[in-house]
Structure 1
Amino acid sequence: MSEQRYSSVWDAIEDTPSEAENMKLRSQLMMALKDHITRTEMSQSQAAKLFGVTQPRVSDLMRGKISLFGLDALVNMAAAAGLHVEMRVLQAA
């Protein structure tokens, strides 16, 4: 069996390159939001009010339930938190 190397865990486990890219972006946004909540010492209720979502939704975010979040929702939450989201598009190697 040959050993195949991947640049990301998402490249290894997702079926298509587009799904892997989507998961990479979602995971980065989720980590940034979780870090923001932790760094500012907000409660989940406070974060929910700021983000315009419910507290259980913030709990899902904090638990890393990535399948429950789309890119649009995560970008909206980041913007509500005062975070600036940038995207770079590069030619695949």
Structure 2
Amino acid sequence: MSDDGFASVWDAIENTPAEAQTIELRSALMTALARHIRAKEWTGAETARCLGTMEPRVVDRLRGKIDVFPLDDLVALLAAIGLHVELRVSDAT
């Protein structure tokens, strides 16, 4: 086992820094989506109706299938349930 000292788990599992950043952003958006759904105590059917999607897709989201959902789809879903997404860009350290 290598001791590369990765900056994050995403850096350890992805091939490039760009891929690591993308998966990290998708994870954050999916976490926000799941947290909101839990707070509302929506069923799968209620969630699907609010998101304008089918229930199996909701289940995929809540099970953490990060690789299935592009960033723009996640932003649209969050907007559909009344959440606002902000983006901050900074110099790499």
Summarize the Cα distance change of 1:34–1:2 in structure 2 as closer, same or farther, 3 Å threshold: closer
Residue in 1 that maps onto 2:88: 88
What is the aligned residue count?
A: 93
Instruction: Give the Cα separation in 1 of the matches to 2:2 and 2:84.
Output: 42
- How much does 1:52 deviate? 1.1
Q: Give the 4+ runs in structure 1 shifted more than 4 A.
A: none
1:21 alignment partner AA: Q
- How much does 1:2 deviate? 6.0
TM-score (structure 2 length as normaliser): 0.94
2:13 alignment partner AA: I
Q: Report sequence identity in percent.
A: 52
2:23 paired with 1:23: yes
Structure 2 runs not aligned, ≥5 long: none
Structure 1 runs not aligned, ≥5 long: none
TM-score (structure 1 length as normaliser): 0.94
- How much does 1:22 deviate? 0.5
